[in-house]
Amino acid sequence: MIYREATLEDIKQIQVVRNSVKENTLSDPNLVTDKDCEEFITISGKGWVCEIENKIVGFAIADLKENNIWALFIDPEFEKKGIGQKLHKIMMDWYFSQTKETVWLGTDINTRAEQFYRKAGWAELGLNGSMEIKFEMTYEKWILLS
């Protein structure tokens, strides 16, 4: 497994992973465009991928402009191998090396992602819309957990 920063050349494979997930699915895959991915990994923040034999099997993207975790997704065939935990740590360490601002994210209710973030120490803030839970992580808490 290779963990590295995402590049523009990775966007097509990132989209394949994003659209392969069984939870937190997009109602319309066209809602997240290649241009969106490009902006988030080159202008608004940064992204990372996990690659196995030249295939991207997971990715994470942090948005510094909105202090938000924009994405953390793993190809369902590669779940439960620690890839999400490793990408999460890389992304969060980078985020808090850039700013001490609290970071937030939203995820669907009653999903493995919800449990993942709870276990990782994220604090629930309530609902983000009607179908998502909003979580946050402070700099201080991340340092304690790291």
Q: Answer yes or no: is pLDDT of 19 > 90.
A: no
80-137 residue pLDDT tens: 999 999 999 999 999 999 999 999 999 999 999 999 999 999 999 988 777 889 999 9
Q: How confident is the model at residue 33 (pLDDT cuts 50, 70, 90)?
A: confident
37-79 residue pLDDT tens: 999 999 999 999 999 999 999 999 999 999 999 999 999 999 9
Give the domain 2-145 fold: Aminopeptidase (3.40.630)
Domain residue extents for the chain:
2-145
Distance separating alpha carbons of residues 70 and 75, to the nearest angstrom: 17
